A and B are shown apart, each in its own frame.
Chain A
Amino acid sequence: MNATARLWKLMLPFRWWIALAVLLSFGTLGAGVGLMAMSAYLISKAALAPQFADIAVIVTAVRFFAIARAALRYAERYVSHLATFRILTRLRVWFYVTIEPLAPARLQQLHSGDLFTRISADIETLENFYVRVVVPPLAAALVAALASVILGAFDVRFAFALILFLILTGIVLPLLTQRLSRTPTEHLIRTRAELNAVLTDEIQGIADVIAFGQAENFRARTRRLNDELDRAQLQLANARGMANALAVLFAALAGLTILLLAIPLVSDGQIDGVFLALLPLTAIASFEAVQPLGAAFQHREASRAAAERLFELIDAPPLVQEPAQFIEMPHNYSIEFRGVSFRYAPDEELVLDDVSFKIREGERIAIVGASGAGKSTLVNLLVRFWDAQAGQVCVGGNDVRAYRTEDLRKHIGVASQHPYLFNGTLRDNLLLAKGDATDQALDAACHVAQLGELLASLPLGYDTLVGENGLKLSGGERQRIAIARLLLKNAPFVILDEATANLDALTEQKLLNSLESFLRGRTVLIISHRRAGIQNAGRVLTLERGQIKVSAEQRVSDMRSAISVA
């Protein structure tokens, strides 16, 4: 199914809104035609110096069309925009709901600056699909039919002439413009996305850009993209300007043609001269209906491109499937990896290569290894962000794929090296872990997570805004918030994935000490490249290039000498 058809399907629930808007739009345009025709007729009739009674009806018609036009215009705009916002909301929710099962695997494959443009700009483009693309042609067709019938009643050639010029303006011209603007439009969209990505990169990395003296290079790059943008816009303005001017030209030509056709008929007495002004002016007035069609075609193109990009984004099978028949999580809190092999993409190397180990319920083990050895991948498999290609990851004695992902994740608390904080308050970020936590519960968690001092220093306390991605806080503070979340979540499985890597040594030690009583009795997996925090682990495994190297159990005391101490 192509993008336009899918878009239509997405809009299907709004068909009655569309019908109503088309009718109102037709009414507005029709009243405009009626006003012009009746006014011209009124003047012509008056020129023949009749009695007032002869023109009373025409005067009423003129008044009626004048009032109807304004009232219908208001109604039409109101209805169509209201529908647009409903559609917009539906589009956003639809997109989120569709992408949600694909995350995070699918989103990590894409450049997020680009993703941002795509989603927010594309959805806003589609917002206009209905008001600017769907309604105008339908309303135009109705107006064209009406005007042709009126003119055709006098002479069928008038109707043909009108239809010819209406088709030229409403269909041929937009198609021509579309042809002329297709390449620049594509160029424009691509350049905009690229510019957005470059600027995101530049602004996020500005410290490194300046420190390396690369500001000039980056500016040159944006300048080049901007020049391309300008060029594309100029080509578009050229096509647009021509189309607008041609549309006006055709309307005037239609009027002139009908005038030229009508003059001999009036001279011959086949048509009463009183209609001579009315005929060309009715024709010209009806062009108001086809003038927005050029824009409609352009918006259709833009909508198609935007829709295609959005569909492309979501048209991927989820890497992780929910089980058709799931089992409940048992009260058995063990973890086992059985011969697990994994790679992120078919053309990439194995990140995990036949990894097997077991953590008994209530046991605490540490996995150490160089960065890039695949430690964090263990976590991704455990919480089912990805699925292993070979082997089994078992939790509570069953394959993780047997549980609903929601249940599984509810039982696992993870504090990672780069926790994500949402751009809201500290409280919002903590409540994420436990929506109904009281302030006392938050206090307790923050106390253990060594956030007491930070909180005391913040005038707004829990209501402090943390900034985009929590960047108003330091890396260490973000990590401690992640620990507080972990405490609040209170899950039987705990994973500390380099969870204290950004803390200074003193704070780290204090944190680990205060965390001790929470960890006791839970099944704990500690991932680390350093000694701190693993001294209380029952066993230490070493992961090297995706393989467990020291699979034999090794007491921590042995490790003390193995890992060099600073």
Chain B
Amino acid sequence: MSIERRLLAENLRARKLLYGAVALSFLATALWLAFAWLFSAVVNRVFILHQTLDQVAVLCALIFGLIVVRFALMWGSDVIAQHSANALKRNLRERLDAKLFALGPLYTRGERTGELVRTATAGIEALDEYISQFQPARILAVIVPALVLFVILFLDIWTLPILLFTGPILVLLLALIGKRTQDLTARRFLEMSWMSAHFMDMLQGLATLKLFGRSKEQAQTIETISEQYGNTTMDILRTAFQTSLVLEWGATAATALVAIAVSARLMTGLMPFETALTVLLLTPEFFLPLRQLAIKYHAGTAGKDAAARVYTILDVPLTATLAPQTNVTRALLPTRLDIFFDDVQVAFDNGERIALDGFTLKLADKQTVALVGKTGAGKTTVANLLLRFVEPTRGKIIVGGIPLHEIDADTWRAQIAYVSQQPHLFAGTVAENLALAKPDPTRAEMIEAARAAHIHDFIAGLPHGYDTPLGERGARLSGGQRQRLALARAFLKNAPLLILDEVTSHLDAANEEQIRAALAQLLPNRTTLIIAHRLALAQDADVVAVMENGRVIEKGSPRALLEADSKYGAFVAAYQGGAR
């Protein structure tokens, strides 16, 4: 199904409103044709038949009435068309938003966030004009010329060939040019999003550019890229101008031809003046809807391309790695959080990148397990599995006897408090960021959690305490503060399963110790997965699992592993500064 059809099939209400708007517009045109006829009649009576104003007064009053009714119809049509666009956009936005959440962080991370945001905002907005203006114009471009031809058929059959020749040639030319425009517009849209991403990149990296003394020369890069973009767009527009040249030429040539042809017949007395003038006035109306379509053509292709971008996202299949594997989900939760990873494999990019392979690990209820290993060993993928951001391509995960994929993902996530490697702090106040963990927490609860994460003193020292707004990504917080705030958020959630992904990597030794102490109180009561390349926290774990190439290569209590000649031992030695 073409994107166009698919868009229109999207929403019944939008479609009905669209057709309503078109009907009003069509009626308005019909009134204009009547106007042309009445006007010619008045001129004819005065000019040829030498009637006076009084004799044509009724006709003039009729003209006035037509004009006013036409005004109301046109206005109504525009408003209804907007209603139609709104209905469609609302529907798509909702689905896009839902889809992004369904795809989760593993998808959004790979894409450029700038492009995603652009699709969700400007992309959807491009559909506004597409529905409210391009679509009505497209339909009118078919039915209005048909109506004009029909009327002319009765008025003056000899004018028909002129219109019938110029009309189809025009449409043919337009179709030829339009196809090219479409391809070029797709290129333009791509370049546009690429270019704004580039511009944003330069601005975000300005500090780095300055450090390397390269910031000034970027003005040149921006100029080059902007000019490139300008050239591409000029290519497209030149084609668009050819379109308007053809249309303009078609309409003016037809008008001139009609004027000359009817004059010839007028002179020989084959045609009444009244009809001749009406035909002349109707001729531009035959071309007007085509010209209006050409004006909206850009909105049309832009809308189609934007729709393609939206559908690309909507059509991303929830593949094995993303979707729950069965539809049999239960709201039921396991009573014990014994988690068993049974020979789990996770492969990305159709099996090209294997993150986990033959990963087997057991977390007993209320036990703390630490995963250690080099970057890229697959530790974070284990956390993503537990969070249901990704599903195994092979093997399974059993929680308290229930396969994890049978548990409703949201119900399951409610059991987890998670601190990621780079926790995101949202635009809003400190309190709002904490409240993410728990609806309407009391100030006392927040303070307690913040104390446990050793961030309370810092927050209390902010200009407005807990109500201090944070910049995007907490611009004014250091890495450690950010992480402790995220930790406080996790403490506040107070969930039975705790996942900590490199939480202390940005903390100084003293802070790390304090966090360790705080965790010491929390850990015994919950099942915990700690991912660590700093090893302080691993020492407190019940079990340390050393990972390499997506599987566990060593497992045991930290003490036992230290005594044996283990990889873990090597890690610890390195961590302590090679002092072994």
**What separation, in Å, do the CA atoms of A234 and B104 have in the docked complex?**
33
B90 at interface, CB cutoff 8 A: yes
Q: Which of A512-541 contact B (CB under 8 A)?
A: 513, 528-532, 535
Question: Contact at A111–B471, with CB atoms within 8 Å?
Answer: yes
Question: Contact at A263–B56, with CB atoms within 8 Å?
Answer: yes
Select A506's contact among B245, B461, B574, beta carbons within 8 Å: B574
| Per-residue interface assignment for chain B, residues 11 to 47, with 1 indicating a CB less than 8 Å from any chain A CB and 0 otherwise | 0000000000000000000000001000110110011
CB<8 Å pairs between A and B, sample of 30: A39-B259, A40-B277, A43-B262, A47-B273, A71-B245, A96-B199, A96-B202, A96-B218, A202-B100, A208-B423, A209-B436, A211-B416, A213-B414, A223-B94, A226-B89, A233-B85, A233-B128, A237-B82, A241-B77, A242-B75, A273-B48, A277-B43, A371-B506, A383-B210, A420-B207, A422-B205, A468-B197, A530-B508, A530-B509, A566-B539
Whose C-beta in chain A lies nearest to the C-beta of B56? Answer: A263
* Contact of A59 with B506 at beta-carbon distance under 8 Å, contacts A44-B47, A92-B222, A344-B476 already known: no
**What separation, in Å, do the CA atoms of A147 and B478 have in the docked complex?**
69
Main SS class of interface, A:
helix
Q: List, in ascending order, chain A residues with CB within 8 A of B570's CB.
A: 506
**What separation, in Å, do the CA atoms of A390 and B86 have in the docked complex?**
57
| Per-residue interface assignment for chain B, residues 491 to 519, with 1 indicating a CB less than 8 Å from any chain A CB and 0 otherwise | 00100000000100111111111000000
> 9 closest Cβ contacts across the A-B interface?
A529-B508, A371-B480, A241-B78, A205-B424, A85-B230, A237-B82, A504-B533, A46-B263, A566-B536
| Per-residue interface assignment for chain A, residues 391 to 423, with 1 indicating a CB less than 8 Å from any chain B CB and 0 otherwise | 000000000000001100110101001111011
**What separation, in Å, do the CA atoms of A55 and B268 have in the docked complex?**
14
**What separation, in Å, do the CA atoms of A241 and B475 have in the docked complex?**
45
Q: List, in ascending order, chain B residues with CB within 8 A of A422's CB.
A: 201-202, 205, 208
| Per-residue interface assignment for chain A, residues 437 to 468, with 1 indicating a CB less than 8 Å from any chain B CB and 0 otherwise | 00000000000000000000000000000011
**What separation, in Å, do the CA atoms of A202 and B436 have in the docked complex?**
13
B427 at interface, CB cutoff 8 A: yes
Q: List, in ascending order, chain B residues with CB within 8 A of A474's CB.
A: 375-376
B43 CB, min distance to chain A CBs, angstroms: 5
B478 CB, min distance to chain A CBs, angstroms: 4
A501 CB, min distance to chain B CBs, angstroms: 6
**What separation, in Å, do the CA atoms of A40 and B258 have in the docked complex?**
11
Q: List, in ascending order, chain B residues with CB within 8 A of A62's CB.
A: 256, 259-260
Question: Contact at B100–A222, with CB atoms within 8 Å?
Answer: no
Whose C-beta in chain A lies nearest to the C-beta of B194? Answer: A423
**What separation, in Å, do the CA atoms of A36 and B36 have in the docked complex?**
14
Question: Contact at A113–B478, with CB atoms within 8 Å?
Answer: no
A interface residues, tally (CB under 8 Å): 169
Q: List, in ascending order, chain A residues with CB within 8 A of B486's CB.
A: 208
Question: Contact at B79–A237, with CB atoms within 8 Å?
Answer: yes
A457 CB, min distance to chain B CBs, angstroms: 9
B351 at interface, CB cutoff 8 A: no
| Per-residue interface assignment for chain A, residues 203 to 215, with 1 indicating a CB less than 8 Å from any chain B CB and 0 otherwise | 1111111111111
Q: Which of B178-237 contact A (CB under 8 A)?
A: 196-216, 218-219, 222-223, 226-227, 229-231, 233-234, 237
| Per-residue interface assignment for chain A, residues 53 to 75, with 1 indicating a CB less than 8 Å from any chain B CB and 0 otherwise | 00100010011011101110110
**What separation, in Å, do the CA atoms of A508 and B577 have in the docked complex?**
9
Select A475's contact among B48, B196, B422, beta carbons within 8 Å: B422
**What separation, in Å, do the CA atoms of A477 and B375 have in the docked complex?**
9
Q: Given A383-B210, A509-B574, 17 other A-B contacts at CB below 8 A?
A: A43-B273, A65-B252, A69-B248, A71-B245, A74-B248, A89-B226, A100-B219, A110-B471, A207-B387, A244-B75, A252-B35, A259-B43, A276-B46, A349-B461, A472-B110, A507-B374, A566-B509
B87 CB, min distance to chain A CBs, angstroms: 9
| Per-residue interface assignment for chain B, residues 450 to 485, with 1 indicating a CB less than 8 Å from any chain A CB and 0 otherwise | 000000001001010000000111011111110010
Q: List, in ascending order, chain A residues with CB within 8 A of B418's CB.
A: 208, 211-212
* Contact of A369 with B234 at beta-carbon distance under 8 Å, contacts A39-B280, A206-B108, A503-B533 already known: no
Whose C-beta in chain B lies nearest to the C-beta of A489? Answer: B212
Select A509's contact among B85, B198, B577, beta carbons within 8 Å: B577
Which of the 9-residue segments B113-121, B145-153, B327-335 touches chain A?
A: B113-121
Q: List, in ascending order, chain B residues with CB within 8 A of A476's CB.
A: 375
Question: Contact at B387–A432, with CB atoms within 8 Å?
Answer: no
Whose C-beta in chain A lies nearest to the C-beta of B78? Answer: A241
**What separation, in Å, do the CA atoms of A423 and B112 have in the docked complex?**
9
* Contact of A564 with B510 at beta-carbon distance under 8 Å, contacts A409-B210, A432-B208, A498-B479 already known: yes
Which of the 9-residue segments B1-9, B62-70, B395-403, B440-448 touches chain A?
A: B62-70
A288 CB, min distance to chain B CBs, angstroms: 11
**What separation, in Å, do the CA atoms of A373 and B43 have in the docked complex?**
89
Q: List, in ascending order, chain A residues with CB within 8 A of B266's CB.
A: 43, 46-47, 49
| Per-residue interface assignment for chain B, residues 96 to 125, with 1 indicating a CB less than 8 Å from any chain A CB and 0 otherwise | 011011001100111011101100111001
Which of the 9-residue segments A137-145, A174-182, A190-198 touches chain B?
A: A190-198
Main SS class of interface, B:
helix
B267 at interface, CB cutoff 8 A: yes
A316 at interface, CB cutoff 8 A: no
Q: List, in ascending order, chain A residues with CB within 8 A of B197's CB.
A: 423, 468
B557 at interface, CB cutoff 8 A: no
* Contact of A245 with B463 at beta-carbon distance under 8 Å, contacts A88-B230, A280-B39 already known: no
B interface residues, tally (CB under 8 Å): 174
Question: Contact at A86–B219, with CB atoms within 8 Å?
Answer: no
Question: Contact at B252–A35, with CB atoms within 8 Å?
Answer: yes
**What separation, in Å, do the CA atoms of A564 and B511 have in the docked complex?**
10
A565 at interface, CB cutoff 8 A: yes
B360 at interface, CB cutoff 8 A: no
A300 at interface, CB cutoff 8 A: no
Q: Which of A228-246 contact B (CB under 8 A)?
A: 230, 233-234, 237-238, 240-242, 244-246
A249 at interface, CB cutoff 8 A: yes
* Contact of A260 with B53 at beta-carbon distance under 8 Å, contacts A119-B199, A241-B74 already known: yes
A2 at interface, CB cutoff 8 A: no
**What separation, in Å, do the CA atoms of A547 and B74 have in the docked complex?**
72
**What separation, in Å, do the CA atoms of A264 and B100 have in the docked complex?**
70
| Per-residue interface assignment for chain B, residues 264 to 285, with 1 indicating a CB less than 8 Å from any chain A CB and 0 otherwise | 1011010001001100110000
Question: Contact at B223–A244, with CB atoms within 8 Å?
Answer: no
**What separation, in Å, do the CA atoms of A485 and B81 have in the docked complex?**
56
Whose C-beta in chain A lies nearest to the C-beta of B248? Answer: A70
Question: Contact at A46–B264, with CB atoms within 8 Å?
Answer: yes
* Contact of A104 with B206 at beta-carbon distance under 8 Å, contacts A50-B267, A237-B79, A368-B508 already known: yes
Question: Contact at A85–B256, with CB atoms within 8 Å?
Answer: no
Question: Contact at A93–B219, with CB atoms within 8 Å?
Answer: yes
Q: List, in ascending order, chain B residues with CB within 8 A of A502's CB.
A: 502, 505
Question: Contact at B50–A252, with CB atoms within 8 Å?
Answer: no
**What separation, in Å, do the CA atoms of A77 and B238 have in the docked complex?**
9
Question: Contact at B206–A107, with CB atoms within 8 Å?
Answer: yes
Q: Which of B342-359 contact A (CB under 8 A)?
A: none
**What separation, in Å, do the CA atoms of A65 and B375 have in the docked complex?**
74
Q: List, in ascending order, chain B residues with CB within 8 A of A39's CB.
A: 255-256, 258-259, 280
**What separation, in Å, do the CA atoms of A433 and B479 have in the docked complex?**
25
B132 at interface, CB cutoff 8 A: yes
Question: Contact at B212–A266, with CB atoms within 8 Å?
Answer: no
- With most chain B CB atoms within 10 A of its CB, the pick from A49, A197, A215 is A215
Question: Contact at B117–A63, with CB atoms within 8 Å?
Answer: no
Question: Contact at A219–B128, with CB atoms within 8 Å?
Answer: no
Question: Contact at B46–A66, with CB atoms within 8 Å?
Answer: no
Question: Contact at A42–B230, with CB atoms within 8 Å?
Answer: no
**What separation, in Å, do the CA atoms of A86 and B227 have in the docked complex?**
8
**What separation, in Å, do the CA atoms of A410 and B216 have in the docked complex?**
14
Question: Contact at B375–A43, with CB atoms within 8 Å?
Answer: no
A201 at interface, CB cutoff 8 A: yes
**What separation, in Å, do the CA atoms of A182 and B35 have in the docked complex?**
35
* Contact of A210 with B533 at beta-carbon distance under 8 Å, contacts A266-B46, A501-B506 already known: no
A112 at interface, CB cutoff 8 A: yes
B317 at interface, CB cutoff 8 A: no
* Contact of A264 with B53 at beta-carbon distance under 8 Å, contacts A88-B230, A210-B101, A472-B110 already known: yes
Q: Which of A242-256 contact B (CB under 8 A)?
A: 242, 244-246, 248-249, 252-253, 255-256
